[in-house]
Amino acid sequence: METDGRDEITRTVVHTPRGDLTEVFRLVWISEYDVEATPVDYLIKSEDDLGLLIEFMPHACKIDASSIGAAKLVLRDKGITAPWVQGAFNFATYYYRSLEHVVTDALINPDFYPRMMEFLLERNIRVCAQCIDAGADVLSYAANTASGKMVGEAFFREYVLPYEKRLIDSIQSQGAHVLYHNCGYASKLFGVYRELGMSAYESLTPPPYGDTILEEAVRQMRPETVLSGGLDQIDFLKTARPDEVRAKVKSILETVRERGGFILAASDYLSEQTPYENLMALAEAGREYGDL
């Protein structure tokens, strides 16, 4: 491991009887409380690397889910547990192979891509099952790498949907719910999202950090799917006046009122240095206008 202040770079080498696998993982603090952590050199660089994983990676895929059970004990009937998991496409592109290579694989390597995706999907199904067994009520399902800025509906339908659908069905057949997360560009995928059958969808990110128009999401998404988000936390919540926050909350709730099935929330996690007064305005306006 190499360190530079709080930043870290970790190099890992896995030795197998038929060759080595290597990964470089970088953790960079982008502010006092916010960190980016991602591989910069992925385990799967070639078809041979995938073969090594398939042959030698332990089948059990055991994870430590004890924190989920601990949270469940603390919450009891006062809340829900909703730990993060990676969706089927995210699981491949975050942990094992770079996004640009996976997209290219789908288009030009019709044998390698499904082989990789099937192998990783089965592992991910086992990961999610352990989270559910530990007490997760909802799985916050990261699906942002196959965003509408990277792929179109036709690509998503052919190369992403089959794997996402199987994972979502597996999770929800075990009694947990899927909160499907795309925190950026999503509008041109709403049509195909209807086919996934997730319990809930977030984050309804408005421009400029996404392309979601709330009225369009309300019109296109399945009425059975709960919608969550819609409020820009990067700029608006940090710079607006409390009265502007109240007005925005009222507008959002009026837009979704006839539809129902909506959770008022930011379009991702709250940013640092968000004024306390704005958070209070958000909460108070939500209670006030949510009862109209």
Overall average pLDDT of the 152-156 stretch: 96
User: Is residue 292's pLDDT more than 90?
Assistant: no
Overall average pLDDT of the 160-188 stretch: 97
Match 């592992």 to its residue by tokens.
123
What tokens appear for 170 in the block?
């597996």
Nearest CA to 94 out of 56, 150, 37 is that of 37
| CATH number of the 67-290 domain | 3.20.20.210
Q: What count of Cα atoms within 13 Å lies in the side-chain half-sphere of residue 186?
A: 28
Nearby residues of 8 by Cβ (< 8 Å), 6 or more positions away: 1, 2, 26, 27
CA of 157: how far to CAs of 96, 110, 165, 213, in Å? 22, 15, 10, 22
User: Is residue 84's pLDDT more than 60?
Assistant: yes
pLDDT level of residue 61 (50, 70, 90 thresholds): confident
Overall average pLDDT of the 211-226 stretch: 96
User: Which residues is 52 bridged to in the sheet?
Assistant: none
Is the Cα dihedral 259, 252, 138, 97 positive or negative?
positive
Percent of the chain past pLDDT 70, that is, above it, reads 100
User: Is residue 170's pLDDT more than 70?
Assistant: yes
Q: How confident is the model over 234-291, as pLDDT tens digits?
A: 999 999 999 999 999 999 999 999 999 999 999 999 988 999 999 999 999 999 999 7
Q: How confident is the model over 7-39, as pLDDT tens digits?
A: 999 999 999 999 999 999 999 999 999 999 999
What tokens appear for 225 in the block?
């799917």
Distinct helix (H) and strand (E) counts, the chain: 12, 10
Per-residue model confidence (pLDDT) at position 60: 81
Per-residue model confidence (pLDDT) at position 126: 97
Match 């539809």 to its residue by tokens.
259
pLDDT level of residue 59 (50, 70, 90 thresholds): confident
Distance CA 33, CA 52 (A): 37
Q: How confident is the model over 189-207, as pLDDT tens digits?
A: 999 999 999 999 999 999 9
In DSSP notation, 19-51 reads EEEEEEEEEEESSSS-EEEEEEE-S-SSHHHHH
Overall average pLDDT of the 160-178 stretch: 98
Per-residue model confidence (pLDDT) at position 18: 96
